[in-house]
Chain A
Amino acid sequence: MWKSVIYKEWLKIRWVAIIFGGLGILAVGNIFLKVQHDLVFNEATNYWYFILFQGYQFFGYGLFKFIPVLGALAVAVAQYFPETVNKRIKLTFHLPLNENKVLLMMMLFGTICLLAIDVIMFLLFTSLSLLFFPSEIIIATLVSTAPWFLCGFVVYFLVALIVLEPVWKYRFMYIIVAGAFVPIYLESAETGGYAPALPLLILFTVVLSISLLFSGYRFRKGEM
């Protein structure tokens, strides 16, 4: 039965997930093309000076920063919006499975897909970083980019919560909560500066992961 649930979820998100993964790989590749370009055209000494003393972040340009968020947003909409069209979620809740477990399974599948894409980007990013930078810079860089990837999961969980929510007043409330929390993950900080906040951000992300159960519960009770 769970294989069938996964099959349905995959049919919904496959193209979005593939495009997201492709764009993620292109964005990572683009970063290191730029690194290569800057090293050649700005000379290595200048480039290292900028990194070590001017706080230059070779990874810090818009496209890469927002790709996990935009990808997660697209995956969440592709996965949950079709369930709300004509209240099709009724079909899902009518399957011979526990309703909460189905929702959690859907959420888990989406999360694993995002995680898989993020891991591919992470491995590619780390491997290419090793060609240019020492481990100290790479670790600090990963700490700096971690909130952006976490933000992808936060956006995914919040969009699931908002899209599945049957009551408009709660939807607006969740949108306000999302508007308050999401920017925290995307604040600019010096390389490695996010390290103290990371455990709390991770905790909040994990707690948020089960939030779509509230929307599912309200739908099943017939709240409008």
Chain B
Amino acid sequence: MNAIECRNLTHYYGKKLVYENLNINVREGSILGLLGKNGAGKTTTINILNGFLQPRSGECLIYGENTQHLSPENKARIGFLIEGHIQYSFMNIHQIEKFYSGFYPKWNNEPYWELMSKLKVTPKQKISSMSCGQRSQVALGLILAQDPDLLILDDFSMGLDPGYRRLFIDYLREYAKSKNKTIFTTSHIIQDMERLIDDVLIMDYNRVLAQRNVNDFMREFKQFYFELENPEINLSNEDFVANFEKVHNKVELYTYETEDFVKNFLSKNSIVHFNFQKVEMGLEDAFIGLTGKY
């Protein structure tokens, strides 16, 4: 069963198309990472999912309910992390725990206080005077204490140093997998996603470039490097080429096809080349390979 289903989602800002007929499914118990360049529509999608933006057409359902009219019962099942770990910064860690505990029947403050015990904050210190990393732990602790079935995280890595990012991800993945939680997340820092997600959705301006299991994607999407004898050759329009980056005669070719297929293509078309090699990629390399550097 799907926790999230978006059907034929279309949205514009004024006359600028964000995307058209976007379909997203997030299986219950899975962790989906939404990747895209700035302006590709990540936050737009998060806002539609949370009912803070009405799409031009199409609809998103969370547990079968249209996100424009989520019932309080359904909202209680969703944990929401706002970009920048925004929380009620006029409260301290005791006040905010007391505040949220009144809303959620499954509230369990143990994980919250466990995380808080790792922070070097005074009991009466306002959240506004905490560092970004400390605020991220407060926001994460509150979500864990809420014990939601679905977590929607908007750019959770923003402003966090590597240590806090790692702490955040390790906690989150352990929590999600041990309790069969569903996560829908975006992040600018794609290395983080690699440790966290099961499925990846890569968006470019106006379209979806990939939506699949992240391991399948990493196995099937490949980068090949070679040097051309004739630097004028351009393969970017070939059907099998997902992206073709060339600096002088040095080529990075991204494709879902096999090494043999690419080699055969080059030899069949008499394209003279040297130093052909398959390049191992991380998720960030694959993302840049798919979306392009610009």
Contact = CB atoms under 8 A, between A and B. Distances in A.
Interface of A: 1, 3-4, 7-8, 11-12, 82, 85-88, 90-91, 93-98, 219-222
B60 to A, nearest CB: 13
A98 to B, nearest CB: 6
A88 B53 contact: no
A220 B48 CA distance: 10
Contacts of B73: 96
Nearest to B78: A94
Contacts of B99: 4, 7-8
Interface stretch (B34-42, B87-95, B272-280): B87-95
Contacts of B100: 4
* Residues of B contacting A: mostly: loop
B17 interface: no
B80 interface: yes
A88 B135 CA distance: 14
Contacts of B47: 222
Interchain residue pairs A-B with the least CB separation, the first 10? A4-B102, A222-B53, A96-B76, A96-B72, A96-B75, A86-B86, A221-B54, A94-B80, A4-B99, A1-B103
B98 interface: yes
Contacts of A98: 72
A96 B103 contact: yes
Contacts of B102: 1, 3-4, 7
Nearest to A4: B102
B58 interface: no
A12 B84 CA distance: 21
- Range class of the B interface residue count: 20 to 34
B50 interface: yes
B52 interface: yes
Given A1-B103, A96-B103, A91 B88 contact: yes
A11 B91 contact: yes
Interface in B177-194: none
B50 A90 contact: yes
Contacts of A95: 75, 103
A116 B139 CA distance: 35
Contacts of A96: 72-73, 75-76, 103-104
Given A1-B102, A94-B50, A220-B52, A11 B90 contact: yes
Given A87-B86, A88-B82, A91-B86, 7 more contacts: A1-B103, A7-B95, A7-B99, A86-B86, A94-B78, A96-B104, A221-B53
B145 to A, nearest CB: 14
Contacts of B54: 221-222
Contacts of A97: 72, 75, 103
A4 B103 contact: yes
B249 to A, nearest CB: 47
Contacts of A8: 88, 91, 99
A94 B75 contact: yes
B111 interface: no
A15 to B, nearest CB: 11
